[in-house]
Structure 1
Amino acid sequence: MIVPRPLGRLRPSGRRGEPKDAPAPDSWSRRYARVAMRLRWVVIVGWVGLLLLALYGPQPPSNGNDLASIIPQDSAAISAEIRSVDLFGYPLNSRTAVVQRDPRGLSVFVEAESVLDALAVNQSPQDPPLLGALPLTNAIPLGGPMGERNTTVLTNLFMDPRSSFVSQQRSAEQYVTLNLGRPDDHVVGITGSVPARAEQARIVAESLHTLEILTVLAIVGLVTVAFRSVVAPVLALGAAGLAYVITLDLSTVVEGFLGVAAPTELQPLLVALLLGVVTDYTIFYVTALRAQLSRTDDVDEAVELAIATYTPIVTVAGITVAAGTGALLAARSEFFASLGPAMTLAIVVGLLVSVTLVPALIAVLGPRVFWPGRLVPRKVLAFMGLRQFRRELAGSSRLMERLTERRTAAVVLAATVLVLVVASLPLASMRLGVGFTSSLPDDNPVKRATAAASAGFAPGISAPTTILIERPGLDRDLAALSAFQRDLADEPGVAAILGPAQNFTQRPLGVVLSNDGNAARMLVVLDRDPLGASAIGDLAALHDAVPGAAARAGLTGATVTFAGDTALAEGLVASTVGDLYRIAVVAVVVNLLLLVVFLRSLLAPVLLLGCSVLALAASLGLTTFVFDDPDLGNGITFYVPFAAAVLLVSLGSDYNIFGVGRVWDEAERMPMREAVIRAFPETSSAITTAGITLAVSFGMLAIIPLAPFRELGFVMVVGILIDAFVVRTLLVPCLLTLLGKTARWPAKGADDASTATTAPA
């Protein structure tokens, strides 16, 4: 692969054994290569020193990143929740609850004891973070389709929100141990969004080492097969592993400086990103070394040319990916704004390792990179099957010749675009959810407790929604409040509502009616997973129904707000969709500008980026088709499409730089079709190997038994493979062929009427 002229002047003619289009001896890339070779041991020792410091040096403290890293602090639902506590002294629903259930029926004594245990918590000081408890038994007629009676008790536990998820879960477990240890209590477990997130973090932590090991083994196997070497995979993994360790150490420092922290659940994404990207860049350097060793017996010259040829390309590619992931900083939601620095830091560290440590190691090892081949360069390449490689290259060139015939190219281009558009169609029906509990494995204790609570009440009981109504003298208009409650209870998606319509709740004051008589609240239980896409849609519809219901009930002038996890999830999904436009615009503009500068063209970058966006849409469409089951109602985890979009568009530009940059250099001297025929077979092997390696790295995310990682792993694998095997192999060559020299507009292209250059045999 050859560097375009803006990144280093090209030799008009080369010395014997040196390609005529190699970077000129006085270019900055050649000077950098010579410095890298001269200082190779200094570079290696320096990186090893940083690694030891990261492993054994003092560890900086990490910021907490529980709810604050997910929910925007200006959320209307949080404001309503705070307002409810100010008016009533305590919330009506919690994020942690203990579930007791016996399908055959709980005795009245067990139900009474459970209520008394909860009241005892409220009457005496508790160990933090537990602040209070509120029992709810299905002996109470809530109305709606909840048919069971006297089978289930749900004790809502109120925790200090400043405490960690793990400490809240442990406090709930301690409550069970101290108060519900009797055999007849039939404790099923603990439910709620806080225990679910604590379980997610635990599962990620337990799966992380397995993920690392399997990813490493997969990379070793792929690189070994690609280069028939045992040293090349060690080189790739050494660089990737060093970048990973240093990134984790630096990320804590950056988090402290910026005051944000990426959610711990997404650490596996950084593993896949770093191992995959650094391995990709190492593959390109090793490919360059193999190509140069095939041309000369001078090892130093081969190493210098390999470093000089690929360092500019790797640098621009890395900057492109880092800038693309940095587009997340444009988000207003704290979740994406905190994820952006972590991903950008990972790419920057990986890039620095790739352009410094990898060249230094190549300079030290030389042809030993291909061990156990014999150390004479040309014989090393003979061992690697160079003749077979050349035969395959000639076959690829003949295939590319047929593909780039104008009529064939037009048909293939139209068919490929049609297939990608069809694959994109399910994207229009994609629904986003949060699904902390639904994402857990079926045998997880929190999910079992949630299922038990759902069976005893309704699916939404694990995270009910609070409706807060405010108006002076509201307690004197109980008939209107009851009518308002009954009207909302008939809305789709509502299983039941507990509020003033149930006479037993009206007195004493302080539960659903405030002591000053100016506020009331209702507890809404939905009939779906309360954090799934369907429930979020139902709550949005309930929002829309409130003005009409209030007018019909005569609650003129009342202010109605919503609190609870479903309301928080609704706001989170809405802010995520709003962030989509900002992130998309920034990511597209950044990637477009870098492609324009690199390719010195306007038309081609726009079309190439369009191809990447089409591939992304197809990937997300297929992900929606596979994972978004309307019957389950959970939808796609809210952050998956956007993290995948930023990564896939950036990585697509990455491969554009690797592949099309080579075509651009050939197009300086020959018609575009001939440039495509010559360049694509030469670059396809490296891009294919890199693409498969990156896809496998991200695909390993699926071993983590949580729904978001299965979704993210799937969309990344599909997206990368579509990009490498469909876009780069079919779409781009056909597009460039049909455009001809117009693709390089406004730069002047080679005259298509000029004498064609024969493709290499």
Structure 2
Amino acid sequence: MSTWKRLVGFAGGKLGRWPVVSVWILLALAATAVTGDLDQLKDNSTEARLPADAPSAQALELAEDKFEDDGHEPLFVVYHRPGGITDADTAAAQADHEALQDELAMPGATTPDPLLSEDGEAIVVVAALPPEAITDDALEATMPQVDEILDADKPSGLEVVPTGPVAAEYDLDAVFEGLDTKLLLVTAGIVALLLLLIYRSPLLLLLPLACVGVANILTNAAVFLLAKHASMTVDNQATGILTVLVFGVGTDYALLLIARYREELRRREDRFAAMRAALPSTFTTLLATAITTALAMLILLFADLGTTAALGPVAAVGIGCALLTMVTLLPALLAIFGRAVFWPAIPRFDPDAADTAEGRHRLWHRITTVVTRRPRAVWTVTVLALLAATLGAATLSSGLTLADSFTDTPGAVRGQKLMAEHYDAGRTAPVEIYTPTASATEVAATLADVPGVKNPLDERESTNGDWTLQRVVLTDDPVGPRAEATIDRIRAALTDVEPRALVGGNTATTVDVNAAMDRDLRVLIPLILAVVLIVLIVLLRALVAPLLLLASVVLSFAAAVGAAGLVLDALGYTKTDGTFVLYGFLFLVALGIDYTIFLMNRAREETALHGHAEGIRRSLTLTGGVITSAGIVLAATFAVLTVLPLVFMVQIGVLVAIGVLLDTVVVRSLLVPTLALDLGRHTWWPGRLARKPSASPAREEVPV
């Protein structure tokens, strides 16, 4: 560690500042040069998301290995007019059907004629699109061409909506298009505004923001290179969260270093000496928090769900780049500008000024005095309040479907609803059953008796004749919980008839994804807690304090879920999936524990010098302002996710923002200090601080 301290100390030194900045300029230019189009490397496919042993994933693999591609994917178009379809509507649907077949459909593919619904209010048209027209790149040209055909000579008042899996994929791609840039701009704007409010200094607005921007460039380059050359999986969800994470964590690290540097400038006339005193000790704390967060993120590699596993290494890379930037580039820039960086509120060297915690942190000294006057009463009321907040979780429910996943209603979702209202909704996403040909007849008879299965669509054999694909239509909307229950019934019914049968298709995929989410919750959450606990034990050299901190963070998370539930209920986004709990837990435990590490690491130092009770009081006084500021910044950056048109992102943004504020304002300021005071020196058991109330006379304190 001493070697690392010397290395990072060099960055803010008189000789090291310019070389470090020069190296970073070259590094940023190189990172920009090597970074290509990350979108081309993203894997948002179903195969990447599913566990390899999931039945629907095995069905996909079997289809690719044993069956010839039938050469087309169906695109459904729904024509809807309340009160009844007119003759002009029918003629338009027929003309569109012919135009789609002539201009876009695969040659030789046959599709049914336009079908009028029984209630006479809708017509559905099916177009057979060739494989080359539905790749991620080709869809950007195909769907606008479809819209052009459908808009031509459309009768007034007729609603025409493309739907089905092809249209849904296009709508989802459109949501993510330009998302990274939008997130970057909004996040940078929020961080800039908060830095200006915190410091009221133009340079202290620009320098941390520039460093976070460089960290983001370095992160994107590292992720691109790892995705291209090391087969690291990257998807839209991971890159969207990554930008917010780098800006939030990087700014937090900057705030902690700047606060320590400013304190040292008041003690030391030489700005380089001030940086030499501030940087090494701050680095120790930042390294501990970064390791904790990165290790927690890497636990996601044990996830079954591909999107969850993809986030882990991507997030860990971002945290590492943020730490590296903030302990090298930022100190060098601060050392170059010196005291002027704080203009107009420049900290002056004044060795005769009062150097007590009370004198320099009057507001937090008053808060500490009130909070610690009756510690048992304070922590008891705080725990009861947090427990009460958890009741809000009752407003949340599981079962987030594709139709519920957008803050607005994309065309494919609207079309799916129309299909469900006027037709067999399952026709747009039939269930695919792959079975050995010898058992095909028996399987077909079994399927006919399963509740929720309406009728078969078609049947075809594999290239070698050993396997048969049977496609059936469900009676319920294929994206709803009732259809998912039908998948479970189909699989159960086929277990005795043909154990080798595989059930695939969109609905079966959803069932398998939900099962993977449930498994990940049961496995990953205990692993994350174990990693955080081990790091805290090593850092604090105690057992009681880490257990206390972990319990407080878990309680804070439960309260955050409850409070977020009330907010999401007001917004109308109460349906969630398993990743809401998992991601929320990950970010709030991994990031929220940072603030407690800042507090308790300082408390350990102060306890060794001033005794337990005084050490706890001084640590709260000394760290209060900067940790509160850092929490507000991190909460605001995650709140940026609420501007996105995806319900899941809105939910995570609300949950993490509320949770971080609870951690910094309630848990760190009220619960943890008062619990530690009430437990006394036993907090540090079995370490030496539990046996030794004070190690030495009071020294001049240096706030973190």
Q: Please classify the TM superposition score into its range, dividing by the shorter chain length.
A: 0.7 to 0.9
Residue 348 (structure 1) aligned to one of 315, 320, 341: 320
> CA 1:488/1:750 → structure 2, altered by over 3 Å: closer, same or farther?
closer
1:571 CA drift (Å): 0.7
Q: Partners in 1 of 2:75 and 2:105 — Cα distance? A: 19
Q: Deviations over 1:677-706 (max 9, x none)?
A: 111011010000000011111111111222
Instruction: Quote the residue 2:227 is aligned against.
Output: 255
Which one-letter code corresponds to 2:387 in the other structure?
V
Q: Is residue 635 from structure 1 mapped to residue 612 from structure 2 by the alignment?
A: no
1:191 CA drift (Å): 2.2
Instruction: Quote the residue 2:306 is aligned against.
Output: 334
Contact 1:102-1:152 within 8 A present in 2 as well? no
Q: Deviations over 1:330-372 (max 9, x none)?
A: 2233222222121111111111101111111121111112013
Q: Deviations over 1:494-544 (max 9, x none)?
A: xxx4415xxxx79xx759xx99997744211424xx44xxx2x43443244
> CA 1:485/1:237 → structure 2, altered by over 3 Å: closer, same or farther?
same
Which one-letter code corresponds to 2:43 in the other structure?
N
Q: Which runs of 5+ in 1 are unaligned?
A: 1-6, 9-26, 127-131, 141-146, 490-496
Query: Aligned to 1:183, what secondary structure does the other structure show?
Result: coil
Residue 77 (structure 2) aligned to one of 95, 98, 112: 98
Instruction: Quote the residue 2:364 is aligned against.
Output: 396
Residue 65 (structure 1) aligned to one of 43, 46, 63: 43
> CA 1:626/1:84 → structure 2, altered by over 3 Å: closer, same or farther?
farther
1:271 CA drift (Å): 1.5
Q: Is residue 584 from structure 1 mapped to residue 525 from structure 2 by the alignment?
A: yes
1:73 CA drift (Å): 4.5
Contact 2:398-2:576 within 8 A present in 1 as well? yes
Q: Is residue 359 from structure 1 mapped to residue 331 from structure 2 by the alignment?
A: yes
> CA 1:668/1:139 → structure 2, altered by over 3 Å: closer, same or farther?
same
1:45 CA drift (Å): 0.7
1:729 CA drift (Å): 0.7
Equivalent residues in 2 for 1:642-681, closer than 5 Å: 642-681=582-621
Contact 2:358-2:365 within 8 A present in 1 as well? no
Q: Partners in 1 of 2:448 and 2:92 — Cα distance? A: 31
Which one-letter code corresponds to 1:337 in the other structure?
A
Structural RMSD (CA): 4.2
1:648 CA drift (Å): 1.6
Contact 2:608-2:693 within 8 A present in 1 as well? no
Instruction: Quote the residue 2:639 is aligned against.
Output: 699
Q: Partners in 1 of 2:698 and 2:168 — Cα distance? A: 63
Q: Is residue 167 from structure 1 mapped to residue 138 from structure 2 by the alignment?
A: yes
1:64 CA drift (Å): 4.0
1:293 CA drift (Å): 1.9
Q: Is residue 239 from structure 1 mapped to residue 211 from structure 2 by the alignment?
A: yes
Contact 1:324-1:650 within 8 A present in 2 as well? yes
> CA 1:752/1:401 → structure 2, altered by over 3 Å: closer, same or farther?
farther
> CA 1:473/1:694 → structure 2, altered by over 3 Å: closer, same or farther?
closer
| Residue range with higher mean Cα deviation, 703-712 or 155-164 | 155-164
Instruction: Quote the residue 2:505 is aligned against.
Output: 564
1:134 CA drift (Å): 4.4
1:445 CA drift (Å): 3.5
Residue 54 (structure 2) aligned to one of 75, 86, 90: 75
Query: Aligned to 2:267, what secondary structure does the other structure show?
Result: coil
Equivalent residues in 2 for 1:174-213, closer than 5 Å: 174-175=145-146, 177=148, 181-183=152-154, 188-213=160-185
Q: Which structure shows the bigger proportion of residues in helix conformation?
A: 2
> CA 1:417/1:756 → structure 2, altered by over 3 Å: closer, same or farther?
farther
1:732 CA drift (Å): 0.5
> CA 1:626/1:260 → structure 2, altered by over 3 Å: closer, same or farther?
same
Q: Partners in 2 of 1:73 and 1:162 — Cα distance? A: 27
> CA 1:741/1:124 → structure 2, altered by over 3 Å: closer, same or farther?
closer
Residue 499 (structure 1) aligned to one of 448, 455, 473: 455
Q: Is residue 283 from structure 1 mapped to residue 255 from structure 2 by the alignment?
A: yes
Instruction: Quote the residue 2:28 is aligned against.
Output: 51
1:727 CA drift (Å): 0.9
Residue 559 (structure 2) aligned to one of 610, 618, 643: 618
Instruction: Quote the residue 2:482 is aligned against.
Output: 538
> CA 1:388/1:442 → structure 2, altered by over 3 Å: closer, same or farther?
farther
Instruction: Quote the residue 1:310 is aligned against.
Output: 282
Instruction: Quote the residue 1:295 is aligned against.
Output: 267
Q: Partners in 2 of 1:92 and 1:546 — Cα distance? A: 27
Which one-letter code corresponds to 1:65 in the other structure?
D
Query: Aligned to 1:669, what secondary structure does the other structure show?
Result: helix
Contact 2:635-2:660 within 8 A present in 1 as well? yes
Residue 605 (structure 1) aligned to one of 503, 527, 546: 546
Q: TM-score, normalised by structure 2?
A: 0.85
> CA 1:638/1:619 → structure 2, altered by over 3 Å: closer, same or farther?
same
Q: Deviations over 1:242-273 (max 9, x none)?
A: 01012112211011233133212443311111
1:394 CA drift (Å): 3.5
Q: Partners in 2 of 1:324 and 1:477 — Cα distance? A: 46
Q: Deviations over 1:111-152 (max 9, x none)?
A: 6666666777999538xxxxx574486547xxxxxx634622
> CA 1:402/1:118 → structure 2, altered by over 3 Å: closer, same or farther?
closer
Equivalent residues in 2 for 1:85-124, closer than 5 Å: 96-103=75-82, 104-105=84-85, 107=87
Instruction: Quote the residue 1:39 is aligned against.
Output: 16
Instruction: Quote the residue 2:472 is aligned against.
Output: 522
Contact 1:499-1:522 within 8 A present in 2 as well? yes
Contact 1:698-1:717 within 8 A present in 2 as well? yes
Instruction: Quote the residue 2:124 is aligned against.
Output: 153
Contact 2:242-2:318 within 8 A present in 1 as well? yes
Contact 1:293-1:299 within 8 A present in 2 as well? yes
Which one-letter code corresponds to 2:9 in the other structure?
A
Instruction: Quote the residue 1:745 is aligned against.
Output: 685
| Residue range with higher mean Cα deviation, 466-475 or 691-700 | 466-475
> CA 1:520/1:95 → structure 2, altered by over 3 Å: closer, same or farther?
closer
Q: Partners in 2 of 1:736 and 1:709 — Cα distance? A: 36
> CA 1:724/1:759 → structure 2, altered by over 3 Å: closer, same or farther?
farther
Contact 2:303-2:520 within 8 A present in 1 as well? yes
Q: Partners in 2 of 1:248 and 1:207 — Cα distance? A: 14
Instruction: Quote the residue 1:593 is aligned against.
Output: 534
1:599 CA drift (Å): 0.8
Determine what percentage of the aligned residue pairs are the same residue. Answer: 24
Which one-letter code corresponds to 2:139 in the other structure?
Q
Equivalent residues in 2 for 1:360-399, closer than 5 Å: 360-373=332-345, 376-378=348-350, 393-399=361-367
Q: Deviations over 1:428-479 (max 9, x none)?
A: 785555644533343644444344434433665554444567674755998x
1:86 CA drift (Å): 8.5
Q: Partners in 2 of 1:576 and 1:302 — Cα distance? A: 49
Instruction: Quote the residue 1:725 is aligned against.
Output: 665
| Residue range with higher mean Cα deviation, 92-101 or 705-714 | 92-101
Instruction: Quote the residue 1:682 is aligned against.
Output: 622
Q: Partners in 2 of 1:93 and 1:125 — Cα distance? A: 10
Q: Partners in 2 of 1:694 and 1:750 — Cα distance? A: 34
> CA 1:477/1:347 → structure 2, altered by over 3 Å: closer, same or farther?
closer
Q: Deviations over 1:734-761 (max 9, x none)?
A: 111122111111112266877998999x
Q: Partners in 1 of 2:56 and 2:22 — Cα distance? A: 53
Query: Aligned to 2:686, what secondary structure does the other structure show?
Result: coil
